[in-house]
Amino acid sequence: MLPSLFTAPDPADPPSRQLEPLKHPVLCYGAAYAVLLAVAVVSLMPAPNLGGSDKLFHFFSYAGLSFGFVLLVRSLGQLSIAAIGLIAYGVLLEILQGLTGYRQMEALDMLANGLGVLAAVPLWWSPLPRWFRIVERGLG
């Protein structure tokens, strides 16, 4: 069974690799999913001419999405699910862009999205997710 992002971490993960639960998980995950929705809307709108390559934009957008989930998940199992889900989300949006008639599906965009997700994953082992929990608890 896949661990839910809202419940206790996978018991297979040792306690030393688990973070404390969030005090306001619905608010935090709600904000993360709202950003996912915003990315979908922007991705499926007619594209403005940004001039040149948009691959860095794809990379940093998905690195930012991934970083948001890196701060929220409690365990390595949940981190894996979030990363795989975000990579699949990037692929899905690229496929949908190809179906719009005014956007193009590009394999290099999928690659940039996936690399952006993977670039943020190692931050889970940094102090940032713990610091986020300290700040989140202090907000009330």
Give tens-digit pLDDT for 7-61: 555 666 666 668 889 999 999 999 999 999 999 999 999 977 766 678 999 999 9
pLDDT at residue 3 in the model: 39
By CB neighbour count within 10 A (0-12 exposed, 13-18 middle, 19+ buried), where does 44 fall? middle
pLDDT at residue 14 in the model: 61
pLDDT at residue 18 in the model: 82
pLDDT at residue 24 in the model: 93
Indicate the domain borders of the chain: 54-140
Q: Note the pLDDT tens digit of each residue in 63-120.
A: 999 999 999 999 999 999 999 999 999 999 999 999 999 999 999 999 999 999 999 9
By CB neighbour count within 10 A (0-12 exposed, 13-18 middle, 19+ buried), where does 131 fall? exposed
Q: Note the pLDDT tens digit of each residue in 70-84.
A: 999 999 999 999 999
Q: Note the pLDDT tens digit of each residue in 122-131.
A: 999 999 999 9
Show the DSSP H helices in 13-127 as ranges: 25-44, 55-72, 76-100, 107-120
Q: At what angle do helices 55-72 and 76-100 cross, to 10 degrees?
A: 150
Q: Is the pTM of this model over 0.75?
A: yes
pLDDT at residue 10 in the model: 61
pLDDT at residue 124 in the model: 95
